[in-house]
Amino acid sequence: MNRLKTILVVLAMVLGGQLFAEGIDFKQISFEEALAKAQQENKLVFIDFYTEWCGPCKMMANNVFPNERVGNFYNREFINIQLDAEKEGKAAARKYGVNAYPTTVFINGKGEMVYKKVGYRDIAAAITMGKEAIAAVSNGYSMADLKAEYESKKNDERFLKLYIAKMIEYREEPYDAVEAWLKIQTEVKENDVDMMEYLFNHRKYLLVDGKAEEILRANYNEYFDIATSAEEKTLESMQATLVYNTRQVAYKTRDAKLMRAFITNWKELPGSAEKTDELKGYELNYCFLAKDADGYKQLATAYMDSMMSTKTLDQIRADDKATYDDYKATKYSPSIIGNKTLEKMAEGVEATAQKDAIVNIGSKYLKFTDNNKEYKQLLSWIDYGDQLIPSDSAMGKLRADVLRKMENTKTKK
C-alpha cells in the first residue's frame, strides 16, 4: 500500500509539473496591471486579441498556445494576457488598431506598440513572432521607436520607406508618412510607371490636397498612356479613392479641416450634385467637428424640418409596407441573412432611416443645446421618432439624456 501511494504521489508530481510547464501562462490581470508588471520586470506585454466567434482564434487557443515550447518561451520573455476585443479589450483593441482576428500585439511597459501580427500562427511561427518582437526592440525598429523618430526624420527617404513598410505590416495607416515621402523622394520620376504603380499600391493611404493628388493630376495623361486596361480602371477611380480616404481620416481623427477638404473635393465628383441629402449630412458633420454650435443647430433644424414634412407618417408606413411586401415576394429566401433582412424591413426601411437620423443628429444637437426652446425642439423630434418606431431603445436613451441635461441645467440655475 505504501509503495502504491508513493507511485501515485510521484505520478501526480510528474503530471502536475508537466501541466504547469506546458503552454502560455496567460495572466488573469487587467491591461493596466499587465503594463505595471511589464515595467517592473522589464518585459514586453504579449496580448492575444480574440473574439468569441473567431475560428482561427480558437485554433490558436487549442493548438498553439498550450504547446510546451511556445509556453516555455513566452512565459520566460513576456507578460501574457488575452483580451476579448469586443468586451473587456475593446478600448485596447481600438488603441492598437485591431480590426481583424486573431491579432497579436507586443507592447512595452509604457503602453507603446512594439510589434504586431494579424492572423493565425502555427507553433513555429508563434515562436518566430516572439523572437521578432524582441529583435524589434533591440535593433531600434520597434513601432514605438519608429514613431518616436518620425518627426525628426521626415526628410530622410530611407527612414520614411522603412516606417511606411512597418506601419503597413502592423496594419496601421501611414497617410502622413506616404505624403512626406512623396514630397522629398528622389529615386522615382513622377511621370514614370514606377510612380504610377507606387500610387496604385498605396492608394488606401492617399488624401486630397496634397502631393499625391498633385502628382496624379499632373501626370494623369502620361499614366493613362502606359496603363494596362485594368490599370486604366484603377486610374479612373483614383480621385474618388482619395476623396473618400479623406472622409474616413477626417471622421477618425475628428479633423474639421480635413472634413472641409473632403466636402470641397466630393462636390467635384461625378453625380455628387444630385446627392443633396448626403451633402447636408456632410455639412452637419463639418459643423460638429468644427464645434460650430450655431451652424450645427441651424443646419440640423433645417434638415429635420425638411425630413419630417416631406411625407406624412401614413405615407411612410404605406411605402415601407410596399417595400416589405415586394422584398418578401420577389427577393426573400429563408436563411440567416434573409430572415434578418426581412425582420429589419418589417420595422420599416424609411422609418428606420429617419429614426437613425433623429438619434444621430439629435445626440450631437444636444451637446450644443443650452436653452428651453432648443430642448423643446429636440423633444419634438424625439416625439416624432417615437411615432415612427415606438419603444425604440436608442430613441428612449436620447430622451433620457435630454431630460437629464434639462434637469442639470435647472439645478445649476
Q: What is the pLDDT of residue 169?
A: 84
Q: Average pLDDT in the 278-293 region?
A: 96
Cβ atoms of 242 and 223 within 8 Å: the answer is no
CATH of the domain at 288: 1.25.40
Q: What is the Cα–Cα distance from 137 to 37, expressed in whole angstroms?
A: 18
- In terms of domains, do 284 and 397 share one? yes
Q: Is residue 13 part of a domain?
A: no
C-alpha cell at 293: 454650435
- Kindly tell me if the per-residue pLDDT of 39 is higher than 90: yes
Cβ atoms of 52 and 84 within 8 Å: the answer is yes
Q: What is the pLDDT of residue 388?
A: 93
pLDDT in tens, 305-355: 999 999 999 999 999 999 999 999 999 898 988 888 888 889 999 999 999
- In terms of domains, do 38 and 132 share one? yes
Q: What is the pLDDT of residue 319?
A: 95
- In terms of domains, do 401 and 294 share one? yes
* Per-chain mean pLDDT for the chain: 91
- In terms of domains, do 121 and 194 share one? no
Q: How many domains does the chain have?
A: 3
Q: Is residue 233 part of a domain?
A: yes
Of 274, 299, 326, the position where a domain reaches its end is 274
- Asked about 54 being catalytic, the answer comes back as yes
Q: Average pLDDT in the 280-299 region?
A: 96
- In terms of domains, do 254 and 306 share one? no
pLDDT in tens, 193-247: 999 999 999 999 999 999 999 999 999 999 999 999 999 999 999 999 999 999 9
Q: What is the pLDDT of residue 3?
A: 52
- Kindly tell me if the per-residue pLDDT of 7 is higher than 60: no
pTM recorded for the entire structure: 0.74
- In terms of domains, do 366 and 389 share one? yes
Active-site hit among 24, 47, 54, 107: 54
- In terms of domains, do 296 and 399 share one? yes
Q: Is residue 199 part of a domain?
A: yes
- In terms of domains, do 200 and 127 share one? no
pLDDT in tens, 351-395: 999 999 999 999 999 999 989 999 999 999 999 999 999 999 999
- Asked about 57 being catalytic, the answer comes back as yes
Q: Is residue 318 part of a domain?
A: no
More confident residue, 40 or 14: 40
Q: Is residue 294 part of a domain?
A: yes
CATH of the domain at 46: 3.40.30.10
Q: Is residue 22 part of a domain?
A: no
Cβ atoms of 188 and 223 within 8 Å: the answer is no
Q: Which domain holds residue 383?
A: 278-310+347-412
- Kindly tell me if the per-residue pLDDT of 22 is higher than 90: no
Q: Average pLDDT in the 171-194 region?
A: 94
Of 221, 256, 274, the position where a domain reaches its end is 274
pLDDT in tens, 60-78: 999 999 999 999 999 999 9
- Kindly tell me if the per-residue pLDDT of 410 is higher than 80: no
- In terms of domains, do 109 and 41 share one? yes
Return the HEC string of the chain: CHHHHHHHHHHHHHHHHHHHHCCCCCCCCCHHHHHHHHHHHCCEEEEEEECCCCHHHHHHHHHCCCCHHHHHHHHHHEEEEEEECCCCCHHHHHHCCCCCCCEEEEECCCCCEEEEEECCCCHHHHHHHHHHHHHHHHCCCCHHHHHHHHHHHCCCHHHHHHHHHHHHHCCCCCHHHHHHHHHHCCCCCCCCHHHHHHHHHCHHHCCCCCHHHHHHHHHHHHHHHHCCHHHHHHHHHHHHHHHHHHHHHHHHHCCHHHHHHHHHHHCCCCCHHHCHHHHHHHHHHHHHHCCCHHHHHHHHHHHHHHHHHHCCHHHHHHHHHHHHHHHHHHCCCCCHHHHHHHHHHHCCHHHHHHHHHHHHHHHHHHHHCCCHHHHHHHHHHHHHHHHHCCCCHHHHHHHHHHHHHHHHHHHHC
Q: Is residue 82 part of a domain?
A: yes
- In terms of domains, do 267 and 288 share one? no
- Model confidence band, residue 409 (pLDDT cutoffs 50, 70, 90): confident
- In terms of domains, do 112 and 78 share one? yes
- In terms of domains, do 128 and 204 share one? no
Q: Is residue 355 part of a domain?
A: yes
Active-site hit among 35, 45, 57, 196: 57
- Kindly tell me if the per-residue pLDDT of 278 is higher than 90: yes
